[in-house]
Amino acid sequence: MRKMRRKLDAALKVQVVLEAIRGKKTAAEIASEYGVHPNQITTWKRYFLDQLPHIFSKGNSNKEKAYEEEREALLKKIGQLEMEKDWLQKKLNTFPLKRGKDL
């Protein structure tokens, strides 16, 4: 029977990474304390350090940029559809309605 993988929450991962960054304990000591593999601690630490510059950047994040681009595209589409609707309503009013069998 396979062993179920543990899902660790973000707070625990941050705690482990901060201990690794402080350097008071080795990765092996931290790993035995928290029950994770030392390689996993190294991976989390590397990811954490790679993401630090993005935390303090003033520019929009990728998600925010994508959201704004999608929003602008949707607003443009709404404007186009409103113009088409208005044009079609004007054209509809110019055609005489036929009543009776011709419908």
**Do residues 20 and 27 lie in contact, with contact meaning Cβ atoms separated by under 8 Å?**
yes
pLDDT digit string (tens) for 14-60? 999 999 999 999 999 999 999 999 999 999 999 999 988 877 776 65
Count other Cβ atoms within 10 Å, centred on residue 45: 19
Distance in angstroms (rounded) separating the CA atoms of residues 19 and 66: 35
Q: Please report, in angstroms and rounded to a whole number, the separation of the first and last CA atoms in the chain.
A: 72
pLDDT mean over 95-103: 65
User: What distance in Å separates the CA atoms of residue 18 and residue 30, rounded to the nearest whole number?
Assistant: 11
- Does the pTM of the predicted model rise above 0.85? no
What mean pLDDT is reported for the chain? 87
Query: Residue 49's pLDDT is what?
Result: 92
- Per-residue pLDDT band for 62 (boundaries 50, 70, 90) equals confident
